[in-house]
Each structure stands twice: as structure tokens, then as C-alpha cells.
Structure 1
Amino acid sequence: MDEGALYELAESIRAQGIMQPILVRRLSQGAHAGKYEIIAGERRSRAAKLAGLERVPVLVRDVPNEAAAAMALIENIQREDLNPLEEAQGLQRLIREFGLTHEQAAQAVGRSRSAASNLLRLLNLADPVQSMLMAGDLEMGHARALLSLDRAAQITAANQVAAKSLSVRETESLVKKLGAEFQLVTQKPKKEKSRDLRRIEEELSDLLTAEVEVRIKKRVKRNGRVEEMGDISIQFGSLDELNGLIERLRGAE
């Protein structure tokens, strides 16, 4: 937790009190049986202690372990001081650990599906670039511009962005300039896909927690019917991600 933000929250609580009760549950098993565990409101609880409050308003709920963990994670993702990469990592946990679809994860944290997808794409950045984003050396706009480059080029460009304090627009220009040397091969403009094809892509993306593209290469006529033929592209950012994809495909058998 950011100490500065925590002290600011403490000052607000000292002046106005806690506006939203802290969500807790009573533990029934283990060494802490009979005690209460905070599900949502850890920051408010700590800030209240800093503000000198001896009592705080709470709501007691009977919540299973998995649901409690998901609720705590969702509240953490919704923090205002969260870095975009931390938010992306939280969304990925909701999808992988709790079985939420991209749509459900986005709704849980109050994001649109497209905004959640843009955040999740940040996890495809090269590790050094992710570290720069986490440290605040790059902003979300810089990171999104760098995603169109391969990983080696991302690192080269990110170092230039940080060293020269480039704006997002300047970063986009740099990415175009590096294109001749590093940038991934661009594809021809794609024809508008049918609603059914987009739905299939979304369902596959949700199942695999990876970006999936279905491409129709040609149409042939068989027995009086037009059949579409093509291929499926699944994106991954590392060998670990690829191994995870393979495991999820095996699990879907």
C-alpha cells in the first residue's frame, strides 16, 4: 500500500468518518475460529487505525473461502492508486484462478470488455518493459504503443522513451520509425467479420485466456453448400504462457 495515499485516506476518515462499512466474515475453523476476517476494506481499516478510530462500521457476511478471495481481489483491483500492470495482473488472476470469462472479469471491476482486454494485453510486453511500467517510467499510453513491436524492439523503444521523456504521440512516431527495422509484419486491412465469427473468437479467448484470431482463407462449395476454410491464431508472450495454453487445451478435452 502507498503510505502517502494511506495517510491521505486517514485524514479524510478523521474529518468525515468511514463512508462505506468494512466487509468481514466470521471464521469458523482453524486457529482463528471465532474471530473476524476482513474481506473488503483493508485500506480503510488501516487508515482508520492511523486516524485513531477505536471502532469502525462493518457488515458481517457468511462468505465461502473462494468467494471471499475473489471479493478481496476485486476490491484490490478497483483501488485508485493501482498501476495499470497491477490491474492487468489482477484481471488475469480473476480469469485463471476463479474461472471468470473476460466479460465477467471486466464487469466485476467496473470496466468495459475492451478496456479489460487492453489491460490484459500489457502482460504481453517484454519483462523489462513491464518493470518500467510498474516503476512509473512508462505510462499506459506508451505501453500500448509499444505492443505493436516485437519484444526486442519494445525494450529498445522503451529505453528511448524513458531516457528522452517522450510523450505518447512521440512514442507512436518512434514506433513507426522503428518499423522498418523491428516492427512486426503488418497485415492487409481485414474485412469486417461476421457476428458469429466474432462470438467464436471471444469464446475461445475466454476459454484459453489468450488473444485468439479466426481467419477465413477461402470458401468452397460442397454438396450444394458453401463451406468456409481457414485457420486459428493464438497469441502467447512466453514459453510459460504457451505451456499454460497447452495445459488448458488438454483440460478441455
Structure 2
Amino acid sequence: MARGSDKRGLGRGLSALMADIEPNTAAASSGEQPGGAHRGERLVPVEQISPNPDQPRRKFSQSALEELAASIREKGIIQPLILRPDPVDQSRFQIVAGERRWRASQIAQVHNLPAIVRELDDTEVLEVAIIENIQRADLNAVEEAQGYRQLMEKFGHTQEQLATAMGKSRSHLANTMRLLQLPDEIQTMLQDGQLSPGHARALITADDPLTLARRAAKEGLSVRDVEKAAKAPPKGTTSKSKSQKKTKDADTRILESDLSRILGMGVVIDHDTDAGGGKLSIKYKDLQQLDDLLRLLNTN
């Protein structure tokens, strides 16, 4: 399929994909068989449908699926799934949007699902999946961050592009993606609802985020409590240990050494973990070294 990304831009969303297709709200009132197809739709056997492996949403509440299944038994599927031909097996279909409905339909033992089939590439599928879930608040904070990272790493989108497409501020994207810096156990606690995104953001700057996270979950600490605890120096901290806190980590020292060796000049890296940026200083001993550095930069 020829890509139309240059024309459509990031974040086309569900409404554009569905064009003038309206939700199947008439099914229940007209006495039609639940799950029947309407204009622009087709019925697809549930066993021919597979989930999208890049779907950013990983957790599905079983109780919520049971509730949706009960609704499907009574009223059918109000909104069709959006599918695309499976890239590996053209006799099958891959879900673009509607995995919850697909899962709940299996519980409700509905065998044929109304669907709209679209020809979409991998970029469009991932964009729609993320946008759909974020717009409907269906993703937890970790899944949202992973979705943003997927779009940036797999398809080269910038934070500015994502912020515009998602209707979010760039700071929101940056703060959300910082959650992926936390230990896996804390990310799991966040996904399970033991911690809120506010708790998690406060933990990023803590000296021992995992211990503080466990304490917050056990004692029911507020976000403000976690913020204060994260800023407080560890018990028994002396002025000497405070200065040691500023000691550079091994990776930074190794990077300084490598750059110094490559350039033949002294290199100092001051990285601000909180801000995510920093300063790189290169020390030259004479104008000849400065000329050499400029020539090297211009060549590269």
C-alpha cells in the first residue's frame, strides 16, 4: 500500500477512518439480530480476527469485559470494529480499534462481528490505536508512555508532533515518558492502581524510589507526602554525603573519558537528571586546539 502520511499528517484518528459511518444505534430498537452489519460494514467471523501485536493497551479488566459482554448479549455491538487485512495472512484480519469488543464478544459467544475493513500501514495502525485509547482515557500512564515511545522510536515522530496530534502539552508528554525511567516494580504498581501518576512522577527524583514506592503503597501516602519524602535527605545524611550525591555516575565518567580521548581535549559533562538535559564543556589549551576542534566539527 502506498503511504499517505505526508498528506494526512499524524493523528488522523477514528473519525476520519470511519468517514460517514454512524454507530449502529438502530440495531436494538429495530429488532434486528444483535451484531448485524449496516452500511459500510461487513460481518467477520470472530475466529478470523487477531489482536494488533503493537496495541499499547496491555491490561483488560475482566469485570469490565464481563459487563461489556452482558451488554453485547442484550443489544449487540453498537460500534463496529475497525480491521485491516492481516499483513502475514491475507485470509485473516488484524484489529485496528475495538479489541475490548472483540474480547467481550467471545465471552458473549457472538460468532460474527460487524467491522469496517481499511487498508492501513503499520504507522497508521499504531497511531490510531494510541489516539483511540488516549482520547477515551483507556490507557494507564505506563501504557500511555510506552505508546508515545513507540511512535517516537519506530516512526521518528517528535514530541512537538505528538503533542499537536494528541492535543497534549509537550511537558505532559515529557513527564509521562519519564515514568519509564522508574524500576519495573514501580511501573507495575502504577499499572495496578497502587500508585497514581502523581506518586510516580514524585518518585523519579527520589534517592531510593522503590523503597519509597513500597512505603507509599503500604501506608497510603498522598502525592504531597511522597514529594516531601523524595526531597528530604536520607536519615543520617551529613554535609559530606550531600556532596557525594553530586558525584557523577560511572556511565557519565566513561563518556567523558571517551570524548576526551577522541578529541584530545578535556571534556566535562554536567547532566541534570531532573531536567533531562545538561552542559557539555570542552577545554582547549591553545588556539591551535580550538582550530582543530572547529575543523573536526565542520567536517562532521
TM range (shorter): 0.5 to 0.7
Change (3 A) 1:35 1:134: closer
Matched, 1:100 2:157: yes
Give a deviation string over 1:140-174, Cα, whole Å, max 9, x none. 11111112223xx2123223212322121222232
Which deviates more, 87-96 or 59-68? 59-68
How far apart are 1:212 and its partner, in Å? 4.9
Supply the AA of the counterpart residue of 1:173.
K
Change (3 A) 1:131 1:52: closer
Q: 1:51 aligns with which of 97, 104, 108?
A: 108
Per the alignment, in what secondary structure is the counterpart of residue 124 of structure 2? Answer: helix
Structural mapping, 1:187-206, within 5 Å: none
Structure 1: unaligned runs, 5 residues or longer: 186-210, 215-230, 234-252
Give a deviation string over 1:84-126, Cα, whole Å, max 9, x none. 1122112111111121111333444553322222211111223
Higher relative contact order structure (alpha carbons within 8 Å, sequence separation ≥ 6): 2
Per the alignment, in what secondary structure is the counterpart of residue 83 of structure 2? Answer: strand
2:149–2:177: 8 Å Cα contact kept in structure 1? yes
Structure 2: unaligned runs, 5 residues or longer: 1-59, 247-274, 282-299
CA distance in 2, matches of 1:3, 1:49: 13
CA distance in 2, matches of 1:160, 1:178: 16
Q: Greater Rg, structure 1 or structure 2? A: 2
Structural mapping, 1:142-221, within 5 Å: 142-150=199-207, 153-178=208-233, 181=237, 212-213=276-277
Q: 1:90 aligns with which of 132, 147, 150?
A: 147
Matched, 1:4 2:63: yes
CA distance in 2, matches of 1:160, 1:36: 46
RMSD: 3.2
CA distance in 2, matches of 1:8, 1:42: 15
User: Given the two structures, how large is their TM-score scaled by the length of structure 2?
Assistant: 0.52
User: Given the two structures, how large is their TM-score scaled by the length of structure 1?
Assistant: 0.61
How far apart are 1:23 and its partner, in Å? 0.9
Q: What is residue 23 of structure 1 aligned with on the other side? A: 82
1:77–1:90: 8 Å Cα contact kept in structure 2? no
Q: What is residue 72 of structure 2 aligned with on the other side? A: 13
Change (3 A) 1:232 1:77: farther
CA distance in 2, matches of 1:100, 1:58: 29
Q: What is residue 111 of structure 1 aligned with on the other side? A: 168
Supply the AA of the counterpart residue of 1:163.
K
1:26–1:35: 8 Å Cα contact kept in structure 2? yes
CA distance in 2, matches of 1:103, 1:18: 36
CA distance in 2, matches of 1:19, 1:149: 47
1:23–1:59: 8 Å Cα contact kept in structure 2? yes
How far apart are 1:80 and its partner, in Å? 3.9
CA distance in 2, matches of 1:58, 1:167: 44
How far apart are 1:52 and its partner, in Å? 4.1
Supply the AA of the counterpart residue of 1:39.
V
How many residues get paired? Answer: 189
Change (3 A) 1:4 1:94: same
Supply the AA of the counterpart residue of 2:77.
I
Percent same amino acid at aligned positions? Answer: 42
Q: What is residue 220 of structure 1 aligned with on the other side? A: none
Change (3 A) 1:26 1:131: closer
CA distance in 1, matches of 2:213, 2:84: 45
